[in-house]
Amino acid sequence: MERSQWKWLFISLAFSLLVLVLLLIFTINDQTIASLHKINPLFLILAFIAHIFTMCFWAWRVQLMTNSLGYRIGFFYSLNLVFANLLAAGITPAQAGGEPVRIHELYRANVPLGDATAIVIMERVLDGVMLVMLAAFAMIVLNREWRSLGETSNVIMYITLVFIIGCLVLFIIFAKRPQILKRTMIRVARIFTRHWESPRIEELEHRIDQEVDNFHSALRKFVKSAKGGLLWGLFFTMLYWVSECVTASLILIGLGQPPLLFESFVINLILAILMMIPLTPGSSGIAEVGATSMYSLFLPSSILGVFVVIWRVVLYYFNLALGIFSSVLIVRRETTLEKPV
């Protein structure tokens, strides 16, 4: 990792640890100590296993979507790609740093840059589609659990749903009219290349034109000849989000609490949307505060802090550990490839 990446990692950890420490200070009491004696470690281990399955679902999504375009990557390569993405996502606002890592790793697996970009963007699109579907399910079927979270959560959800739908509409426009995407990207690029020499600017604009064509070609493949990749992608996207919700319920059972399966489903859905807001690196602090405020409606204060800490250990700190491990493997691979034969 570069020095700047270490800096953002420490900032992200500092945000998260500060909130967690304050949370424990205000929630630990005599009842907390008594509750800790009732912890069932088996369910906490199952929570880690469920989260690993979540990462596997993500890896299968990337692998099958890539294979559907005619490129072959192995499952473990795809899984390592997902792990590496976790570290970058954990130190960038709105977890946006994961996308370039996934594109780079697909490119290193001989997937053309335009196709790799299309795969990663289609992942985001599928996430958006699934979040809209799950939100509609929560509003209609889980209406009682939805309403129990209060008006603030409802307003946040409605606003963010409008944003997600707007992004999906924008994606459809760009997919149908690649010339609009080209003009937009070139105009944005010119803002940052004002002081470049003319040949260099022309080369960049030619590259943008070429890669947008490759990207549009990959999208056409998904729609026409690679529909199976989209269907598998949507299927594993659904399993991914369901598995994330189940993880929280397993932690609750491990702490001797009711699983709150449907409540956790709605809460994790809202948190997923909240964490898209680019406020802090890896959305650290936002996730802790959001989870605390919503789970406090269902959990006693004596166990609330402990639950949020374990929940973040599984879904955030464990992710960072996996990401660092994967990044070391990638650095070793790149170093080996650069050695003279």
Residue 241 corresponds to which amino acid?
W
Asked if the structure places residue 327 within a domain, the reply is yes
pLDDT 10s digits, 268-327: 877 877 777 666 666 777 888 888 888 888 888 889 989 999 999 999 999 989 988 898
Residue 248 neighbours by CB distance under 10 Å: 26
Q: How many domains does the chain have?
A: 1
Could you tell me the pLDDT band of residue 340, with boundaries at 50, 70 and 90?
very low
pLDDT 10s digits, 180-192: 878 887 787 777 7
Residue with tokens 């936002």: 286
Residue 111 corresponds to which amino acid?
V
pTM of the entire predicted model:
0.80
Question: Is the separation of the CB atoms in 94 and 327 below 8 Å?
Answer: no
Asked if the structure places residue 107 within a domain, the reply is yes
Could you tell me the pLDDT band of residue 341, with boundaries at 50, 70 and 90?
very low
Strand partners, 281: 93
Asked if the structure places residue 281 within a domain, the reply is yes
Asked if the structure places residue 333 within a domain, the reply is yes
Asked if the structure places residue 141 within a domain, the reply is yes
Tokens of 67: 């294979």
Domain that holds residue 283: 3-28+46-338
pLDDT 10s digits, 21-36: 888 888 888 788 877 8
Asked if the structure places residue 37 within a domain, the reply is no
Asked if the structure places residue 34 within a domain, the reply is no
- 267-294 burial, b for 16+ CB within 10 Å, e for fewer? bbbbbbbbbbeeebbbbbbbbbebbbeb
Q: Mean pLDDT throughout 159-175?
A: 74
Asked if the structure places residue 36 within a domain, the reply is no
